[in-house]
Chains A and B, each alone.
Chain A
């Protein structure tokens, strides 16, 4: 993909890199920028004063040293630039996180140029950098810290790769802007008993087990029902798969209802999140009732994911 001259010199390319891209990307010369660091500028100033000293005192070896260091300044530029070139950047698996956590973004940086890369630092905007060496034909896995402070779906900000190796006189950098989304669940509220649990307090810890308080009747088997609740005797009689229903589930399971919470939107979402986590931990069948969306009761990791996702995206358009 070529770039027009105007595109090439867009300042955004220097600051944020090119627009979000899918998949792993390899740093070619187009993406790698380089500028002297402050240390580099001070070094150049030092060289100038050395040159003046050499002229003033007519020191032949002073000229030699000054020119050797000036040449070093030029060569270091090539090496700093090379150090970032032909790196392959790839995102590791992205797991959703809860708001307020300090999660880490896994990034894999590999070499494609048969040469080692040293002190490659990666960071997300406003976060601490993490650095590693990448051996020749090898890779390094880095975990970039970031903060999840708002629930919802966030576009991954551009990752900045930079290096000052070998002399710290230049900083070469490149931006890797992946078209990936980070899903941030709401922050779970402080542990709160599940709704309706107070009424059925006697059932918890009873011999019947959780959510299996009183037999209430039979219904057709639905995908996701616990095998323990299947009426196997009825199946044996040829009545097909039927599921026993118990009073504790109120026939449809536990409902986590927006209407049962109080407070602001975020507080309600936080509480619902906590309930989802607790219900899931207890292995219950549960459904989620939000003003905009209703998720039918079910159990298991898929249900947990569905519910948390709905909570995370509550109020977002196109959720």
Chain B
């Protein structure tokens, strides 16, 4: 062999040697780690993942690094920081939190602080007590994830995390005992499975109270989707196609006809030339309605609305609601406003009358509903003056303006051209292309210019029935804007200028999504069986989510009352309900106790069982096995006492010992042992 070849071989040997050394060293180290800590680190890591996008990198990255540090320490690869360094890290963490949020209070900052401090606690986790503290707080981290996301998928994922945390707690209570790593996991699963029925009872029957117990600070609108509290047509030149569900509705009776599916939310009364807004600033500062002059006719529509969290205070209702959800109020413009921002799924029951007369008796505040900036829309004002002069009255004027939209070449498009100068004039006279906001804005300006009180309403129009769930889905892409005008003797009347555009002038974009859901349009959008299956799967998934929202996330005092009514417990007072709850809990606990306490309550070991049967058979012949007598010892004694049984005794004992103690037990050993014991008749 040449010198180079020898060198090469040597290098190979070395690499081989180093590799095997590392493998052995690492294997040895994994075995060294306390399983409780390993489970805990895994659970903590997984429970932090959902916070990754939510918390600032300045905090979540160090948190992950601290986790890795602790894992390295457990593997004897690193040392923990000294006391001084730990304090320095605590100071840095506080500074990072303050720097990111300017506070350590509130939801976001509080969660961030909890996460980083928990990870810092890993740096001084020594005694089992410390581990228990971290495990307990890890459960708390799970609940902080739910503050931001309570979807079905997140719920399933977090259940996995809870299983891991519980496994860590089980492992912690068995220090230093030899067992396979999944033994603790199995025990945790058994515990959680047995806890599930009790948890279900508590969930259904535990008396729910209305939150909040104290006022929550208004959070900066971070994750809000859908409607906003102002509207600037012309600024946005593309409407989002957000297919997310805004809310779901279950009607008690038949669906209202499509033309009446207007879900009102906000009234915009102030126009500054480009932007419509509400002068009463933040919704929670709006005064409650004083003039509740509402007359209704016809049949009522009763329905349950399940609202996805949107972090805002407004609620949706079919035009025109006559009941108020709990913890909400009615503004002068008949907006439903919740007392707190909607931060989680909420359910409320409402009654609406599609046929109504609102504030017909008294003319509205002309300054508020007739306001127009002096310089805005000069050409529109001229048009308004001309049309008004031709009109007999305000109602006639409204019809003339609508006819203008219908007859002139106005187009509906979700990608309107940008309007640089006066957006109203630009739209009415130049581009003539826009979506609901353009039409509502221009229509309101024309009304006000002629002295007809008007306001822009925003909300949702339409929706879609889920054929699998018998409920109605309203998506973010159903967002809509329309106008309410005040007419003498009729009060506030809803006018939707967008609706007068004939279908031929509606531009459908590539995806076929359209805010204005015109019947027959959907047929153009999709074809082919794959699309149909996809659509059906979408409905099924949404149906599942609806149930989840309705019965898990949105289960509150009202749903509890409804359910209890259905169960025949509706008449019970608080004491009666408590009695029912405790009786049911006691009953389930009793059944569980019977399961846990019965002999062999846990999974019985078939090997031990077969051997125990063997011993029992001998016991009946007066050859009971001593309490501290080993199998080998027992076998020797038996052979001496009953030489006739020796072959069978030897067979059973050897099979038992192999199954119990051999490194690789025979595969068919259990069957052979069981057969041998069955055939054994001393």
Query: Which residues in A have some Cβ–Cβ distance to B below 8 Å?
Result: 24, 39, 42-43, 46, 49-50, 52-72, 74-76, 78-79, 81-82, 85-86, 88, 90, 92, 108, 110, 113-116, 118-119, 131-133, 135-139, 141, 164-168
Contact = CB atoms under 8 A, between A and B. Distances in A.
Contacts of A68: 162, 192, 195-196, 199
A71 B136 CA distance: 15
Contact of A65 (B136, B143, B188): B143
Given A67-B202, A137-B612, A168 B169 contact: yes
Contact of B599 (A60, A92, A113, A133): A113
B608 A135 contact: yes
A307 to B, nearest CB: 31
B374 interface: no
B604 A57 contact: no
A119 B173 contact: yes
Given A60-B556, A61-B154, 10 more contacts: A43-B136, A55-B212, A57-B343, A65-B139, A65-B142, A66-B143, A71-B195, A114-B599, A135-B605, A136-B604
Interface string B327-349: 00000000000001001111000
Contact of A64 (B188, B199, B602): B199
Contacts of A72: 166, 191-192, 195
Top 8 A-B pairs, shortest CB-CB distance: A71-B198, A114-B600, A60-B553, A71-B195, A67-B202, A71-B199, A61-B146, A68-B199
Interface of B: 107, 128-129, 132, 136, 139-140, 142-143, 146-147, 150, 154-155, 158, 162, 166, 169-170, 172-177, 179, 187-188, 191-192, 194-199, 202-203, 206, 208-209, 211-214, 216, 340, 343-346, 552-556, 585, 589, 592-593, 596-597, 599-602, 604-605, 608-609, 611-612, 627-628
Contacts, number: 199
A60 to B, nearest CB: 4
Nearest to B608: A137
Contacts of B203: 63-64, 67
A74 B198 contact: yes
Given A53-B143, A68-B195, A115-B599, A60 B344 contact: yes
14 contacts: A39-B129, A56-B213, A60-B150, A62-B143, A62-B147, A65-B162, A67-B206, A69-B139, A78-B589, A82-B601, A110-B627, A115-B601, A137-B605, A137-B609
Given A115-B601, A164-B173, A61 B627 contact: no
A202 B196 CA distance: 86
A62 B196 contact: no
Nearest to A118: B174
A88 B627 contact: yes
A66 B198 CA distance: 12
B140 A50 contact: yes
A90 B627 contact: yes
A57 B216 contact: yes
A60 B142 contact: no
Contacts of A57: 107, 147, 211-212, 216, 343-344
Contacts of B628: 90, 92, 108, 139, 141
Contacts of A138: 608
Contacts of A166: 169-170, 173, 187-188, 191
A58 B344 contact: yes
Interface centre among B129, B166, B196, B596 (most CB of A within 10 A): B596
